[in-house]
């Protein structure tokens, strides 16, 4: 499953990421990690002190990947509205949900401050970055005037995370798409809105 050129620690981290995604923390046993990674018990414990340390490495990797993906879109070209729209409309596997957001549903991860920290930091980073973009867009044009930057940023994050949940509950990505479309209509400056019938 993993590249032949991957080091043992990389295979262990990748396996843990996949298992956390599919099974959650409790369902991710050291044995399952070792089997998926093609690594022995001695090899696992040579590189990591145990499951918590390996899970933390996997969560950090997932969080870093999410920041990189979101950052490339949010820091890209275009107006504030265009960059937020690009973030909301980017290609994603809606039915699988957000790999970082899903960790908030895992009671063991949320109960452990060390495991929870990368999740909280990443969602905080996303809200902060969106707040800056909304502030820029309301000051210089490109977004509907009068928007509260931090409240709007929180709404963008909540729309994405909530959209994943509703899509999974209904078994259709249409719910996610509807939420994103509704939010974009609310954010658009008045001159970009469709005229009312």
pLDDT for 197 equals 39
Q: 3 pLDDT band (50/70/90 cuts)?
A: low
Q: Report the pLDDT averaged over residues 55-64.
A: 96
Residue 160: pLDDT over 50 = yes
How far are the Cα atoms of 27, 65, 123, 137, 194 from residue 70, in angstroms, in the given order?
28, 9, 11, 18, 28
What separation in angstroms does the CA of 82 have from each of 38, 56, 106, 115? 44, 34, 33, 34
pLDDT at 182: 96
- pLDDT-derived band at 161 (thresholds 50, 70, 90) equals very high
Whether 87 contacts 67, CB under 8 Å: no
DSSP 71-87: HHHHTSSS-HHHHHHHH
Sketch out the chain's domains with CATH numbers. 1-48 (1.10.10), 59-190 (1.10.357.10)
Statement: residue 93 has pLDDT above 80:
yes
pLDDT-derived band at 195, boundaries 50, 70, 90: very low
Going by the DSSP 8-state scheme, the letter that residue 95 receives in this structure is T
125: how many CB neighbours lie within 10 A of its CB? 15
Instruction: Express each pLDDT in 96-154 by its tens digit.
Output: 989 899 899 999 999 999 999 999 999 999 999 999 999 999 998 789 889 999 999 99
Average pLDDT estimate for 22-44: 91
Q: Is the pLDDT reported for residue 45 higher than 90?
A: no
Give the model's pLDDT for residue 91: 92
Give the number of other CB atoms < 10 A from CB of residue 157.
16
- Mean pLDDT in residue range 70-88: 96
14 is written with which tokens?
């990748």
Using CA atoms, how far apart are residues 143 and 120, in angstroms rounded to an integer? 27
CA atoms within 13 A on the CB side of 11: 19
Q: Percentage helix, strand, coil, to 5, in the chain? A: 75, 0, 25
Q: Is 27 helix (H, G, I), strand (E, B) or coil?
A: helix
What's the CA gap between 191 and 197, in Å, rounded?
15
CB 100 within 8 A of CB 123: yes
Per the model's pLDDT, the better-predicted residue between 142 and 1 turns out to be 142
Res 41 pLDDT > 90: no
CA pair distance 37, 192, nearest whole angstrom: 50
């Amino acid at each position: 499953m993993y590249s032949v050129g991957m080091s043992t620690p990389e295979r262990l981290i990748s396996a843990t990421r996949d298992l956390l995604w599919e099974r959650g923390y409790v369902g991710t046993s050291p044995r399952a990690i070792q089997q998926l990674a093609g690594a022995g018990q001695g090899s696992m414990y040579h590189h990591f002190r145990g499951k918590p340390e390996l899970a933390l490495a996997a969560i950090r990797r997932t969080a870093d990947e999410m920041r990189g993906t979101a950052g490339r879109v949010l820091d890209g070209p275009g107006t504030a509205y265009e960059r937020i729209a690009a973030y909301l409309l980017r290609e994603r596997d809606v039915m699988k949900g957000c790999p970082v957001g899903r960790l908030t549903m895992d009671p063991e991860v949320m109960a452990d401050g060390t495991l929870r920290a990368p999740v909280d930091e990443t969602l905080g980073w996303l809200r902060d970055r969106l707040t800056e973009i909304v502030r820029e867009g309301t000051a210089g044009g490109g977004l509907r005037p009068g928007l509260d930057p931090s409240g709007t940023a929180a709404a963008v994050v909540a729309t994405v995370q909530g959209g994943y949940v509703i899509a999974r509950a209904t078994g259709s990505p249409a719910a996610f798409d509807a939420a994103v479309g509704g939010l974009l209509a609310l954010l658009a400056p008045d001159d970009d809105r469709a005229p009312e019938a």
